[in-house]
Structure formats: structure tokens, C-alpha cells
């Protein structure tokens, strides 16, 4: 690949460290130093304000605004735009001394350091402020979000007069007044409301103008000052200090009003909440840490990915739509896409199964919107949106919103994968099946039969490879629909009469789905072992992707829109994608043939692409390729590979990095009745260890170049395949010789 690392942060196994402040990386750093606790997200912007380049971002999960665009004259083209908006800037702080206001864009500073500690979840920043030749002040800003009480955050300011003494003036509070620049050239503020302040508190009640969502933000300070409310949604407390010292604030941002909020906050301190966070993170790392010995770059990279995955969802308390940027930025408008179920779900399935409920619950709660969308597209059942926050289709590009079926089949895949890994038959029969049936109804009315062959398939669609528009028989679409039909029929046949009655199945409906699955058009060549990506793909003009000048990327910005669709160039894996999701369906030779054909045609214009290619390359023994793609995926944001980290983190790619190690280098397969491992370590790694939580069992996996050690603890027995051979690990552990490529092929 032509993309390369833009290394800025120090490499450390447990910390992300910025030594010295470079304004050119200000927005990149804001993204990388983002904090989250599934309810709230906070970019790493400066508490004290900054007049340089900055994307100040403080978000609350599910809080968004809506704009209705000009309605098209064509039926089914979306006219609704929903987007994540800033909520309260609760670390708002302004500092002045001797008439100078602290602003790192203009103030003289030295000894700047910023450290994100992944063991504790705390972000700490410190520097020397040279106010003038006589006065130097040491300042330290600390913050974290509570992982136990997800509506609570904390920040602390510490100062010391290193040389000279003067009056330090600090104004701190809440700020709902920041304009949302994505909504127009001059920006728009989407909040209305009221505020009040006292000697040691600030409070705001705010409501979004269009969606009418309410937030109640409360701050309790550890010191007293002078209250000030200059604007309806900007309450502050002003402090004056003449001695060395510190103070902290605790904030509660809630969607419901709590009259006892300050009493609740007063029961905590910065230190007590921080101690709880340390304990919480210690427990999480015990269950989900991935330890790599031999390469500190990779160790930091994967720990950062795991850290961010826990920040985006962990408790299972509320339904969560994982946006493409999580709660770290506003690109893609904060919308969730089909990669939630295909890329993000596996991490939680094996590290925090309870959190999976948050993801699946969102799709169940938004089933009515998906059913309404199907009607707009002249289909029955449920057509899940390609981009959404609330369940409503928010992609106003018809060529994506109307032709991509993968969100719906991804939901079905997520339900199948959850049931397969957890064995939760009750969920499948009471909740999952409701979505499966409606998805099948859509698939049965969106497709059609070939007049000449009688095969069933999909016409005028776009698969994961978004460089091929309005194609017929996209293989990913057809294959995933076939698997969805088969799984739904299998599930429905297990239901009792009471459960069946709730589905209101029509006469012959089940038989129709079975027939469509059997007649699904899946073009496979027995000689070449290739699946044609879509009808006519093999005859498209060829483009050597390596001949495209680097300055042409991204192509959407540098090529005419229609030019992208006129060749065999691939944006991201399509055929290889369904092979990655259902590896047991294919032989080693079939995967190899399709990898060798499609990988050279892929330009990896999507952050989702590298991890899938790495997983398959590892399974094929293409070690150099596997590791090359992994380096790109695991450090995409830390090293700003795509030069767009400033917009926010690539959450599905971050999830893909975990898959890259566990499904790729460790060779996990979770699409059969029992788990399977076929490890193959990168050359620079001495060993690899991690833990999988599976059906009440903690399975510890240790892989070295001489052996594989598995230890299981829990109430249940677990059976695992190693290179195709079944073993039953226990608390004492079982040792198996590390395999070779031939053994790896047997594992496939």
C-alpha cells in the first residue's frame, strides 16, 4: 500500500505520550486523546480554550439534531439528515494572570507533556506557563470519565508558582453555546435552555431545537467562588488564587432530571471516583488484554484499540449505535453503519457479552423504522438503513441508501453470530427471530428470478465494494441473503406454537424462503475456484491500482464520480468479506484463489479493508502480507495513516484490529459448533496471549513458537479445536505443539 505512518506519539506499552506541543497535530491529538464511557464522549481538546486549529467535541450517546433536505421527486430517496451534535463543554476553563489569558496558540510555554494512561483511563496534561520574565506557573490538567457511573465525569486543575507570585484568575463552568460548523458556513447552535450558578455549582437545562431532546448538566466544584451567568447556557464560577493549590469539578450529564443531583455528586471526590476507575480498568484488562512480546509498537497499538472499544460500550445499560467515529468526532455525522455487527460485535462477544445486548437492542428498538423504510422502497419486511442514529435512514445519496442490502444482512449475521457463540436460544426465539423474519420478508421482495435460469438473486444493488454501482448478483449480497434465509428457516422450525403465532407467518412464506435460498445465484467456477464479484465483473476494464499516483487519493476527491465505477478496481473486500465471515464454508484452495485474484485489485480506500485482508493472508500463510496489513490497521489512528485522524477515530477499524489478532494470527473460527484455533505468529513476535470469555468459561490462550497453552476456568466444560484436533482444556491447562503451514491448512 502507498499509505505510510505519520509517527508523532511516543511508543509505550500502556500510555499514549505527547512530548512537546506541535500545533500541526492539535486536532489529531484531540482525536487520539478522546475519552468515553458509552454515555459520554470527550475529545482531547484543551480545557482552557485554544485559538488554533481545534475540533472541540463533547458528546452524549444518541443526542442528535435533524435537518429535512429538499424532497426528491422520486419515491424512496431519503430527505432526512441526522447528525451528532456537541453537548455541554463541561471542562470549560479560562485562565488569566497579569492581564494575559492562557492560550497555547500564543502563550509562551515549555515542558509540555500529555499522557493518556490506558491502565486507569485518565488523561493528564502539564506544562510551564511563562507569563512574563518574572512569573512562571506550572499547570496540570487531569480528567477522566467514570466507567461505573456513566453520567459522571471529573476534571482537576493543579497549579504551582515556580517563579514569582501573582494572582491567578480562573473561570470554570458549562458551555452549551458552541456552534456546530457542519451545519453551515456560519455555524448553528442547536440548543435552547436556562442555567444557574452558585458559589460552588453550575447547572443547565438544555433542549435541542428540532429533535426536542433534553440534557441536564450539573457541576459541583471542590472550592467556592463567585457565580456568573453571562449567557442563558453558559454558567460559570470565577475563582481567584494567590497560593499554590488545586481544585476539581464533578459533572453529571443526564437525559433525565434528578433533583438530588448535587447531593449525589457530593458523595464523591475526584480521588474516590478515580480509585473506582482504576479498579474497573484493572478488571477489564484481566479479561480482555492482549499481550504481545517482541514488538512494542504492536503492543501499544492493540492495547489502544481495546481501550477505545471498552470506552464506546461496556455496560449493556442502554441501547448503543456505534458510530463510525464513536463519540470521538463528527465525521459521518455520528451515524452507525453495517460494520457494527460485522466488525465490532465479535470483540464484545468474547470480552463482554453483556455489552452485546446494547448493540442488538438498538436494532430491535429501531425495527419499526426499518419496516417503514422497506415500504418506501416497495418492499415488505424491514430494510435497515445504511447510515443512522435514530433508526431513520440518514444517507441522502440514493445510490447507497437504496441499493445496499448489507445493513440488513449484517443485522441477521450479528444475531446468528451471537446465538452461535453464546448459545442464547431464548434471545434467538423471542427477540432475534422477530428481526430475522422481517429481514427475510424484505429479501424475498427485493430480489427476483432470472428468466433464463430460474436462479434467484438481487438486481440493481451495491455491495461492500462501493466502486461498483447498480450491479446484478453481487456475490456478497446474494451469499449473505442465502445464509439469512437458511438461518431464519432453521430458527423458525424450532419455535413452539405460541412463539410462531407472534410472527404472523403467511401461508407458504417459510417454504418460499427455503426455495430462494436453494435457488440463490452464486456463481462459482470449479476450474478457477473463483466467485465472480457480480455478473459481468470479470469482463470489466482492468486498472493497475499500483499505477495510480499517490496524489490522486482519496479518489472521491480527485476523480470524476462516474470514473470510479468504470473498471474492476475494488474499494474494499467484497467476495473476501463473506469468506472472512463464514470461513468454514470454504476450502484453503478456494480462499487462496480468490485472495490472489481480488487483493491486487483493491485500493483499500476504506479503513475496514486492511484487517480482512490481513486475516485471510494469515490463514493462507502469506505472513509478510498479513503483517503489513495488520500494521496499517492497528495503528491507523495513532500514526494517522489515512491523514484524517483529526476527524475522529476509525472505530470499526479499531475493532477490526482485535479481529486481526484473534481471528487472524491466532486463527480463531467461531462459525462452527465449537471454537477453533490455528495460530500463526508474525515473525517479530515472541509470543501472544489473550483471554476469551465463552459460555461462562474463561479461556486463556498462550501462543509461543514452540507450543500453544490453553487453560480454562469456569463451571462449564469447553471443547476447542487446535489445527483441527479437539482438546478439552481445564484449570491445569493443556499444551499443544505449535503447528506448521500444513497443520494450519488442516485447521482451515
Q: Which domains does the chain have, with CATH numbers?
A: 33-70+85-285 (2.70.98.40), 293-661 (1.50.10.10)
Whole-number pLDDT of residue 449: 97
Q: Which of 650, 571, 54 is nearest to 301 (CA)?
A: 650
Whole-number pLDDT of residue 745: 53
Q: Which of 717, 639, 643, 720 is nearest to 674 (CA)?
A: 720
Lowest mean pLDDT among 3-7, 48-52, 547-551: 3-7
Q: pLDDT tens digits, residue range 247-299?
A: 999 999 999 999 999 999 999 999 999 999 999 999 999 999 999 999 999 99
Answer yes or no: is pLDDT of 118 > 60. Answer: yes
Lowest mean pLDDT among 36-50, 148-162, 313-327: 313-327
Q: pLDDT tens digits, residue range 480-523?
A: 999 999 999 999 999 999 999 999 999 999 999 999 999 999 99
Q: Which three cell numbers stand for residue 251?
A: 459533572
Q: pLDDT tens digits, residue range 65-97?
A: 999 888 888 999 999 899 999 999 999 999 999
Answer yes or no: is pLDDT of 336 > 90. Answer: yes
- How much of the chain exceeds pLDDT 70, in percent? 97
Q: What is the pLDDT confidence band of residue 315, given thresholds at 50, 70 and 90?
A: confident
Report, as an integer, the average pLDDT of 635-651: 89
- How much of the chain exceeds pLDDT 90, in percent? 87
Q: Which three cell numbers stand for residue 337?
A: 453503519
Q: What is the pLDDT confidence band of residue 2, given thresholds at 50, 70 and 90?
A: low
Answer yes or no: is pLDDT of 184 > 70. Answer: no
- CA angle at 294 for the pair 292 and 300, rounded to the nearest 5°: 50
Answer yes or no: is pLDDT of 6 > 60. Answer: yes
Q: pLDDT tens digits, residue range 551-579?
A: 888 888 899 999 999 999 999 999 999 99
Per-position b or e across 26-50, b if 16+ CB within 10 A of its CB: bbbbbbbbbbbbbbbbbbbbbbbbb
Answer yes or no: is pLDDT of 183 > 70. Answer: no
Q: Which three cell numbers stand for residue 536?
A: 459481468
Q: pLDDT tens digits, residue range 392-433?
A: 999 999 999 999 999 999 999 999 999 999 999 999 999 999
Q: Please state, rounded to an integer, the average pLDDT across all residues of the chain.
A: 94
Q: pLDDT tens digits, residue range 696-711?
A: 999 999 999 999 999 9
Q: At what angle do helices 588-598 and 609-619 cross, to 10 degrees?
A: 140
Q: What is the DSSP letter of 584?
A: G
- φ, ψ for residue 147, nearest 5 deg: -90, -20
Q: pLDDT tens digits, residue range 339-379?
A: 999 999 999 999 998 788 888 999 999 999 999 999 999 99
Whole-number pLDDT of residue 744: 45
Q: What is the pLDDT confidence band of residue 741, given thresholds at 50, 70 and 90?
A: very low
Higher pLDDT, 5 or 146: 146
Whole-number pLDDT of residue 740: 54
Query: 486523546: which residue's cell?
Result: 33
Q: Which three cell numbers stand for residue 240?
A: 481567584
Q: How many whole angstroms separate alpha carbon 39 and alpha carbon 336?
A: 16
Q: How many helices (H) and strands (E) does the chain have?
A: 22, 29
- Per the rule left: phi > 0, alpha: psi between -120 and 50, beta: everything else, 643 is left
Amino acid at each position: 500500500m502507498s499509505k505510510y505512518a505519520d509517527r508523532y506519539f511516543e511508543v509505550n506499552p500502556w500510555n499514549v505520550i505527547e512530548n512537546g506541543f506541535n500545533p500541526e497535530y492539535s486536532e489529531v491529538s484531540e482525536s487520539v486523546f478522546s475519552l468515553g464511557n458509552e454515555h459520554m464522549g470527550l475529545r482531547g481538546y484543551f480545557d482552557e480554550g485554544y485559538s488554533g486549529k481545534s475540533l472541540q467535541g463533547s458528546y452524549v450517546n444518541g443526542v442528535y439534531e435533524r435537518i429535512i433536505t429538499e424532497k426528491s421527486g422520486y419515491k424512496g430517496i431519503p430527505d432526512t439528515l441526522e447528525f451528532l451534535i456537541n453537548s455541554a463543554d463541561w471542562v470549560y476553563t479560562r485562565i488569566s494572570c497579569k492581564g494575559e489569558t492562557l492560550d497555547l496558540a500564543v502563550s509562551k510555554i515549555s515542558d509540555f507533556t500529555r499522557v493518556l494512561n490506558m491502565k486507569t483511563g485518565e488523561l493528564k496534561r502539564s506544562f510551564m506557563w511563562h507569563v512574563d520574565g518574572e512569573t512562571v506557573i506550572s499547570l496540570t490538567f487531569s480528567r477522566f470519565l467514570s466507567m461505573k457511573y456513566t453520567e459522571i465525569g471529573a476534571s482537576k486543575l493543579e497549579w504551582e508558582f515556580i517563579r514569582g507570585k501573582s494572582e491567578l484568575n480562573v473561570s470554570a463552568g458549562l458551555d452549551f453555546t458552541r456552534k456546530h460548523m457542519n451545519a453551515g458556513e456560519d455555524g448553528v447552535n442547536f440548543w435552547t435552555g436556562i442555567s444557574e450558578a452558585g458559589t460552588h455549582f453550575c447547572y443547565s437545562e438544555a433542549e435541542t431545537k428540532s429533535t426536542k431532546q433534553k440534557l441536564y448538566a450539573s457541576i459541583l466544584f471542590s472550592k467556592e467562588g463567585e457565580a456568573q451567568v453571562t449567557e442563558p447556557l453558559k454558567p460559570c464560577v470565577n475563582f481567584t488564587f494567590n497560593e499554590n493549590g488545586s481544585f476539581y469539578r464533578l459533572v453529571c450529564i443526564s437525559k433525565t432530571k434528578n433533583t438530588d443531583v448535587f447531593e449525589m455528586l457530593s458523595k464523591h471526590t475526584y480521588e474516590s471516583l478515580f480509585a473506582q476507575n482504576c479498579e474497573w480498568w484493572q478488571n477489564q484488562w484481566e479479561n480482555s488484554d492482549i499481550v504481545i512480546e517482541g514488538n512494542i509498537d504492536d503492543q501499544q497499538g492493540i492495547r489502544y484499540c481495546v481501550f477505545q472499544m471498552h470506552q464506546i460500550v461496556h455496560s449493556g445499560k442502554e441501547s448503543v449505535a456505534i458510530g463510525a467515529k464513536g463519540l470521538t468526532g463528527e465525521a459521518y455525522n455520528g451515524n452507525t453503519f453495517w460494520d457494527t455487527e460485522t466488525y465490532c460485535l465479535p470483540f464484545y462477544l468474547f470480552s463482554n457479552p453483556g455489552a452485546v445486548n446494547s448493540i442488538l437492542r438498538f436494532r430491535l428498538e429501531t425495527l419499526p423504522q426499518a419496516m417503514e423504510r422497506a415500504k418506501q422502497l416497495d418492499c415488505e419486511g424491514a430494510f435497515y438503513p445504511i447510515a443512522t442514529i435514530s433508526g431513520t435512514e440518514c444517507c441522502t445519496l440514493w445510490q447507497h441508501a437504496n441499493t445496499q442490502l448489507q445493513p440488513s444482512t449484517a443485522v441477521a449475521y450479528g444475531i446468528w453470530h451471537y446465538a452461535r457463540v453464546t448459545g442464547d436460544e431464548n434471545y434467538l426465539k423471542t427477540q432475534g427471530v422477530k428481526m430475522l423474519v422481517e429481514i427475510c420478508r424484505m429479501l424475498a421482495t427485493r430480489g427476483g428470478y432470472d428468466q433464463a435460469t430460474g436462479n434467484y438473486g438481487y438486481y440493481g444493488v451495491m455491495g461492500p465494494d462501493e466502486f461498483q454501482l447498480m450491479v446484478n448478483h453481487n456475490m456478497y449480497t446474494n451469499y449473505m441473503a442465502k445464509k439469512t434465509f437458511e438461518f431464519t428457516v432453521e430458527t423458525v422450525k424450532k419455535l413452539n406454537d405460541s412463539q410462531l403465532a407472534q410472527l404472523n407467518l403467511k401461508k407458504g412464506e417459510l417454504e418460499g424462503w427455503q426455495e430462494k435460498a436453494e435457488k440463490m445465484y452464486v456463481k462459482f467456477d470449479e476450474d478457477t475456484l473463483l466467485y465472480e464479484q457480480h455478473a459481468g465483473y470479470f469482463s470489466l476494464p482492468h486498472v493497475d491500482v499500483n499505477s495510480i499516483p499517490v496524489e490522486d487519493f482519496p479518489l472521491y476527491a480527485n476523480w470524476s464520480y462516474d470514473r470510479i465505477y468504470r473498471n474492476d478496481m475494488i474499494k474494499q473486500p467484497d467476495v473476501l468479506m463473506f469468506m472472512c465471515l463464514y470461513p468454514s464454508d470454504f476450502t484453503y484452495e478456494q480462499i487462496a484463489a480468490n485472495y490472489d485474484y481480488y487483493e491486487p485489485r483493491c485500493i483499500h480506500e476504506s479503513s475496514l479493508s486492511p484487517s480482512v485482508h490481513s486475516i485471510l493472508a494469515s490463514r493462507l500463510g502469506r505472513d509478510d502480507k498479513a503483517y503489513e496489513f495488520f500494521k496499517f490497521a492497528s495503528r491507523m489512528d495513532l500514526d494517522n495513516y489515512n491523514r484524517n485522524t483529526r476527524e475522529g477515530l476509525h472505530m470499526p477499524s479499531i475493532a477490526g484490529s482485535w479481529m486481526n489478532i484473534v481471528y487472524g494470527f491466532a486463527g480463531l473460527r467461531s462459525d462452527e459448533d465449537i471454537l477453533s484455533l490455528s495460530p500463526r505468529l508474525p515473525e517479530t513476535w515472541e509470543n501472544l496471549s489473550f483471554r476469551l470469555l465463552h459460555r461462562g468459561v474463561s479461556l486463556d490462550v498462550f501462543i509461543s513458537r514452540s507450543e500453544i497453552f490453553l487453560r480454562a476456568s469456569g463451571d462449564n466444560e469447553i471443547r476447542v479445536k487446535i489445527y483441527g484436533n479437539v482438546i478439552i482444556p481445564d484449570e491445569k491447562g493443556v499444551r499443544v505443539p505449535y503447528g506448521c503451514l500444513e497443520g494450519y491448512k488442516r485447521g482451515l
